[in-house]
Amino acid sequence: MKKRRKYLKDLIPVNINKLVLETGYFELQIGDKLLSLAPDRCPDGSYVISLFVNHLRQPKTWELSARPHVGRLRNGGHVPYAHDEVYYVVSGSRRFRHLFIDPETMMVGTRTDFFPHHWAAYPRGKAREENKSFKEQCRAMEKALFGEDEWTAFHRKTVLKSRFGH
């Protein structure tokens, strides 16, 4: 049987802002293992999200980053004191709103941990030459029908004329 491709929608998202501001922890039972995520304060004063498996702390942590809410609310509204900051997880040099959990492998990480080369799904360059766009296919058919000299005259008369409104 062919291995099914994994997508982001198949993973379990953990909203970092909700984890820090509202609940204070996240727990998930997968088989006989209990995964827990909780915000902790380090001795140097920074905050991290810690991973626990069956109530045992794991060495994997993610640094937290906060930014204040900016802008104005309509009709005299205000942001409550308890929600005046938005929290993110820092991975590499980027900030992420969610951590994701793979229920099959029990891997926890950001979307770039699961899909590091997401741009490979959209090939460019040589791989794209094999899959020509519709426009390129039409031009090749026109050249095959009209020949090189007739095609340039046809192209000038129809396509370019219609573009510039002459």
How does pLDDT run across 54-108, given as a tens digit for each residue?
A: 999 999 999 999 998 777 778 888 777 777 889 999 998 899 999 999 988 889 9
pLDDT of 76 reads 82
Q: Does residue 88 sit in the same domain as residue 138?
A: no
pTM of the prediction? 0.66
Which residue segment(s) compose the domain that 143 sits in? 126-164
Q: Does residue 47 sit in the same domain as residue 81?
A: yes
What's the number of domains the chain is made of?
2
- pLDDT of 158 > 90? The answer is no
Q: Does residue 14 sit in the same domain as residue 75?
A: yes
Q: Does residue 130 sit in the same domain as residue 105?
A: no
Higher-pLDDT residue of 66 and 4 is 66
Tell me if 2 is assigned to some domain: no
Tell me if 151 is assigned to some domain: yes
* Rounded (10°) CA dihedral 144, 150, 153, 157: -70
**What mean pLDDT is reported for the chain?**
82
Tell me if 55 is assigned to some domain: yes
- The pair of structure tokens assigned to 110 is 């950001």
DSSP characters over the chain: -PPPPP-GGGSEEEEHHHIIIIIS-EEEEETTEEEEEEEEE-TTS-EEEEEEETTEEEEEEEEEEEEE--S--GGG----GGGSEEEEEEETTEEESEEEE-TTT--EE-HHHH-TTGGGGS--THHHHHS--HHHHHHHHHHHHHHHHHHHHHIIIIIIHHHHT-
Tell me if 159 is assigned to some domain: yes
pLDDT of 83 reads 76
Nearest to 142 by CA among 130, 159, 125: 159
Q: Does residue 78 sit in the same domain as residue 97?
A: yes
Given a contact cutoff of 8 angstroms between Cβ atoms, the answer to whether 87 and 99 are in contact is no
pLDDT of 10 reads 85
Q: Does residue 132 sit in the same domain as residue 50?
A: no
Q: pLDDT tens digits, residue range 21-63? A: 888 999 999 989 999 999 999 889 889 999 999 999 999 999 9
Tell me if 3 is assigned to some domain: no
